[in-house]
Structures are given as C-alpha cells and as structure tokens.
C-alpha cells in the first residue's frame, strides 16, 4: 500500500496544520489588549505624576504667599510707638493692627490676580500672634488638576500658616531703637 502511506502523511500534515493554526488563532489580538492596558496604565501614571507635582507646587505657593503676607503685615508699624508716643510706653516697635491685615490681604490679592486665574489664593485669617509684634497669616491656594483623577478630585487645595515678627535694628544692631 504505497498510496496508503502517502494518504497517511497527507492526513498527518493536514492535522498538524489545523492544530498549528488553532494554536496561534487563540492568541490573535492578545498583543492589542496588552498594548491598550499598558497605554491606559501609563496615562494614569503620567496624570498622577503631573497632578502630584501640581499639589506639591500648590503647597509651596501657599507657604510662600502666607510668608509674604505676614511680612507685609509686620511692616505696617505704629508711627506713634516709633516716635515714643505709644500707649504701652515700653515698646518702641509695635504693629498697627488696624491696618496691618489689610496689607497682608492686599499681598494675597496681588498674588491671586497675578496668576491669571490658573490658581487662586485666599487669606483665611490674619491675627496677632502670642507676641503682639508677631503677625500670623493663613493662606489657602487652590489649583485645578491637569488631568482629572479621582485621587485629587476637582481641585487641589493646600493651606499654609506663616508668621513674621517686627524687630528693631539689623543683624549687627539688635538693641532697642
């Protein structure tokens, strides 16, 4: 049966070919699914990186604006105390609290308008610290995330509190004025 061997070889070849095509047919499209899943993961990581950086930047800006506002508050000194006509009589330097927080608020407002609406800064409060020569300012900075991720919500809000103290003299001259 020489024809039988040929038929058997042809059948084996056809069976191998069918098994081979089924083997690779099941894998078709798996690279596309992997690529799509990988792309989504990379985009989420990029969003987390960008918005995480925005959150750190907002925290730094809040601290900077609060510090500048506190400095602005303590530069508003009482002229009467500087001339020795103050009510306490013991301090030559005193903050004019009636207007000091107005200067701090103006500093925060200037920052908020200078940023062009990208981020906003608001002063929560400006108070006299434990020392009457110290201003304590709390500022909140709000930033919109570049990529809306559930981790950050619709906005990134950071709050910072800074203080500044009015002093007389400079680094070499630390005596009373």
pLDDT of residue 117: 47
Question: Tokens in use for 10?
Answer: 């042809």
CA distance 44 to 36: 12
pLDDT of residue 84: 63
Between the alpha carbon of residue 50 and those of residues 17, 46, 56, 99, the distances in Å are 51, 6, 10, 40
- This prediction has a pTM of 0.65
Pairing label, strands 134-143, 119-128: antiparallel
| pLDDT tens readout for residues 126-166 | 887 677 788 888 988 888 777 776 666 777 888 889 988 88
Q: Mean pLDDT for each consecutive 10-residue tract of the chain (177 residues)?
A: 57 58 58 87 86 84 89 81 58 76 87 67 77 85 76 78 78 52
CB 123 within 8 A of CB 138: yes
Residue 122, CB half-sphere, CA atoms under 13 Å: how many? 5
pLDDT of residue 94: 77
Exposure string over 97-109, b if 16+ CB within 10 A, otherwise e:
eeebbebbbebbe
CB 51 within 8 A of CB 146: yes
Which residue pairs, CB below 8 angstroms and at least 24 apart, start in 77-82? 77/166, 82/177
pLDDT of residue 39: 92
């Amino acid at each position: 049966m020489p024809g039988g061997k040929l038929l058997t070889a042809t059948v084996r070849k056809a069976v191998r070919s069918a098994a081979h095509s089924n083997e690779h047919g099941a894998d078709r499209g798996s690279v596309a699914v992997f690529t799509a899943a990988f792309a989504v993961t990379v985009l989420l990581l990029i969003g987390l990186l960008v918005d995480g950086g925005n959150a750190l930047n907002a925290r730094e800006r809040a601290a900077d604006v609060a510090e500048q506002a506190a400095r602005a508050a303590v530069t508003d000194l009482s002229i009467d105390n500087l001339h020795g006509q103050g009510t306490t009589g013991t301090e030559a330097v005193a903050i004019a609290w009636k207007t000091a927080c107005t200067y701090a608020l103006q500093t925060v407002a200037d920052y908020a308008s200078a940023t062009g609406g990208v981020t906003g800064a608001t002063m929560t409060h400006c108070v006299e610290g434990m020392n009457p020569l110290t201003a304590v300012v709390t500022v909140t900075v709000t930033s919109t995330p570049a990529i809306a991720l559930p981790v950050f919500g619709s906005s990134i809000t950071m709050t910072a509190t800074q203080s500044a103290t009015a002093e007389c003299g400079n680094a070499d001259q630390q005596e009373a004025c």
